[in-house]
Amino acid sequence: MARDSEDPNTDVQYHLEVGPDDVADTVLLPGNPDRLETIVADWDDHEIRAHHREYRTATGSYEGTPISVTSTGIGGPSAAIALEELARVGVETFIRVGSCGAIQPEIAVGDLVITTGAVRQEGTSDEYVREDYPAAADYEVVSALVAAAERLGYDYHTGVTMSADSFYAGQGRPGFDGFEAAGSDDLVADLEAANVKNIEMEASAILTLASLYGLRAGAVCTVYANRKTGEFRTEGESRAAETATLATHLLVRMDAVKREAGVVRWHAGLSLE
């Protein structure tokens, strides 16, 4: 296995153990390695290409569109490693597929949240760029995710996500033995007042790195809990996976229409019909 070449962009990558021939141009990024099975269930075919630590990768096709999935584990640091190494082997588009907690009372458990931008409460992206640099989703990816959710008939919301490094203290939950971090009492209320839709742990790092590298990225999460209403159910796990898979297919069609029209970006004057 080549790991110490002068050109790491063409090698099998150190953590993911994938090379350029192992992945498609678009990769879905769930956190949980076990969620890979849920994602590939809707594909026409798939093959496991690598499994090392928390990183599990499969590649296949959906409606004739090549597609891959790589699990990232929990949090920004491991998600950033996945994006770095996938970018080095040629991946151009990334879609985070996960679960989240909603913080707006009208968002129901089982709904989807499609991220348009993210509050960078995680620390990984701070290692790359100044803290006031925005974590913005690529609008083509957002458009494809919205179109996919509409076609599938799933209830969805678009807006700003907050990404944290901590599941407990960083999200306003008590730690061991009732420990409370400074400001945790007001965290969820402050985010709600700012019209933030949901909390999760990977989106802002993925979006920030993709923007820095000129790549496309977005995120879609199924709501497992609503922090305002107290509801919690692991309901609709497959909805985010189905939406991201269909969005990948739509992005390929969008890119083909752009090439035919001689434009470089998708816009309202183009049609997939």
Under DSSP, the state recorded for 192 is: H
CA-based nearest residue to 7, from 65, 108, 90, 128? 90
Active-site annotation holder among 35, 46, 49, 85:
85
Active-site annotation holder among 88, 227, 239, 249:
227
Strand partners, 60: 46, 67
Sole residue written with tokens 């996976």: 241
Q: Is 49 a catalytic residue?
A: no
Largest distance between two CA atoms of the chain: 61
Tokens standing for residue 193: 């007042």
Q: How far apart are CA 208 and CA 133, in angstroms?
A: 8
Judge whether 57 and 13 are in contact, CB under 8 Å: no
Helical (H) or strand (E) element with 230: none
Active-site annotation holder among 51, 63, 84, 173:
173
Tokens standing for residue 27: 């990769």
Instruction: Provide the pairing of β-strand 65-70 with 216-226.
Output: unpaired
Judge whether 205 and 244 are in contact, CB under 8 Å: no
Q: Is 15 a catalytic residue?
A: yes
Q: Is 85 a catalytic residue?
A: yes
Judge whether 111 and 184 are in contact, CB under 8 Å: no
**189-193: long-range pairs with CB below 8 Å, 24+:** 191/103, 191/119, 191/162, 192/103, 192/104, 192/228
Q: Is 227 a catalytic residue?
A: yes
Looking at the annotation, which residues are catalytic? 15, 85, 173, 227
